C-alpha cells in the first residue's frame, strides 16, 4: 500500500471518528457509570433531527470536556435506560458524577452545555436525615441557613427513582438562590416525614422564613419545579413549620400512620374483637340456668 493511500485512510478514519460519538450498549454504559468518575451520555434514536443537532454540538465540545473533566463522552441509541432519566425520552443528555445523574435541561449550545457540566462537577442535591435535618436547615427557627426545597422520597417509589436526574437539574438551576435536598421517608427520615405529615412519595416542600409551601402540581419537570421554588410558591397555601415532635408524640403518630397504611389489619382486629364480644353475649343468653336441687323429704 502506498504511503499516500495509507495516510488518506488514516485521515478518513479519524474524520469518521471525530464526526460521531462512540456508541455503547446498555451493559457497557452501566459499567462506565459504575466505574468512571465522569460520564456524559447522549441518549438518542434514529431519524431524530433534535438528536442529531444535540450530537453535533456535543461533538464540537467533546475535546474540551475530555480536557477539563477527563470525562467519557458517549451515546446510547434506542436505549430503554433513557426512561430512568428523562420522561420525554430522546434526546436526553445526562452527566453522571460518581454515578449520580444530572439531566441537562438547556438549549443545544456548546457554551451552555460546557458551563452547566463544569459548574456542577459534584452532586448539587444534599441528603438529609432525622439526626441532621433541623441542624442543617433550621426551618423551625426561620431558616437562617437559607430557603430549602426538599423532596421526600422512598426506595419503593419508581417515580422517585426516575426523578433523581431531574431533581439534580433543579438543584443546578436554583443553587444560587436556595438549597435543594432530599430525605428518605421510610428509613433515616421517618420521624421528619411524620413531623410534616408526609403520606406519599414523591412530596416536595419549600421551607422559607419559618413557613412551608407544598408543591401540589402533577408536573415533575425541571421548569415547573424550579419556577415553584423561585416564585410560584406564593400561590400555594402557606403553613407554619411545626416544631419537632416529642418521642412519645412521634411514636403515637407512627402507630397511627401504620394503621392508616394497613387498614385491613385494624379492620380485621376490630372485626375479631366484635365477634368475640358477640360470642360472649350469646353464650350468656343461651346458657341454661342451673337446676334447683329438690328439698329433702321430711321425715315422717
Domain count, the chain: 2
- Asked, for residue 291, whether it belongs to a domain, the answer is no
Do 149 and 239 fall into the same domain? yes
Between the alpha carbon of residue 20 and those of residues 30, 53, 64, 93, 281, the distances in Å are: 21, 12, 15, 15, 83
Give per-residue pLDDT as tens, 190-249. 999 999 999 999 999 999 999 999 999 999 999 999 999 999 999 999 999 998 866 655
- 205-214 burial code (b ≥16 CB/10 A, e <16): bbbbeeebbb
Of 228, 248, 268, at which residue does a domain stop?
Answer: 248
Do 69 and 168 fall into the same domain? no
Which CATH number covers residue 53? 3.40.30.10
Do 237 and 172 fall into the same domain? yes
Mean predicted lDDT score pLDDT of the chain = 85
Q: How confident is the model at residue 16 (pLDDT cuts 50, 70, 90)?
A: very low
**Stated pTM of the model:** 0.78
Cell matching residue 46: 434514529
- Asked, for residue 80, whether it belongs to a domain, the answer is yes
Give me the domain span that covers residue 94.
Answer: 14-118
Amino acid at each position: 500500500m502506498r504511503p499516500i493511500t495509507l495516510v488518506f485512510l488514516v485521515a478518513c478514519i479519524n474524520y469518521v471518528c471525530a464526526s460521531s460519538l462512540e456508541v455503547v450498549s446498555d451493559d457497557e454504559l452501566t459499567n462506565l457509570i459504575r466505574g468512571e468518575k465522569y460520564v456524559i451520555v447522549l441518549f438518542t434514536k434514529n431519524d431524530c433531527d433534535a438528536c442529531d443537532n444535540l450530537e453535533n454540538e456535543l461533538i464540537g465540545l467533546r475535546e474540551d470536556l475530555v480536557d477539563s473533566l477527563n470525562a467519557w463522552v458517549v451515546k446510547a441509541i434506542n436505549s430503554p435506560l433513557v426512561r430512568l432519566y428523562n420522561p420525554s425520552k430522546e434526546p436526553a443528555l445526562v452527566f453522571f458524577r460518581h454515578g449520580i445523574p444530572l439531566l441537562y435541561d438547556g438549549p443545544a449550545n456548546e457554551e451552555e452545555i460546557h458551563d452547566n457540566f463544569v459548574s456542577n462537577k459534584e452532586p448539587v442535591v444534599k441528603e438529609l436525615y432525622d439526626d441532621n435535618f433541623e441542624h442543617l436547615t433550621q426551618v423551625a427557627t426561620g431558616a437562617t441557613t437559607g430557603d430549602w426545597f426538599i423532596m421526600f422520597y422512598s426506595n419503593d417509589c419508581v417515580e422517585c427513582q426516575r426523578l433523581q436526574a431531574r431533581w439534580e437539574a433543579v438543584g443546578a438551576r436554583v443553587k444560587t438562590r436556595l438549597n435543594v435536598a432530599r430525605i428518605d421517608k421510610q428509613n433515616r427520615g421517618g420521624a421528619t416525614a411524620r413531623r410534616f405529615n408526609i403520606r406519599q412519595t414523591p412530596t416536595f416542600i419549600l421551607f422559607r422564613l419559618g413557613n412551608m409551601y407544598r408543591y401540589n402540581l402533577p408536573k415533575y419537570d425541571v421548569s415547573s419545579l424550579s419556577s415553584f421554588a423561585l416564585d410560584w410558591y406564593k400561590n400555594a397555601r402557606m403553613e407554619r413549620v411545626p416544631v419537632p415532635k416529642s418521642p412519645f408524640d412521634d411514636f403515637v403518630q407512627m402507630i397511627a400512620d401504620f394503621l392508616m397504611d394497613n387498614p385491613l389489619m385494624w379492620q380485621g382486629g376490630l372485626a375479631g374483637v366484635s365477634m368475640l364480644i358477640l360470642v360472649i353475649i350469646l353464650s350468656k343468653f343461651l346458657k341454661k340456668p342451673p337446676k334447683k336441687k329438690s328439698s329433702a323429704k321430711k321425715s315422717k
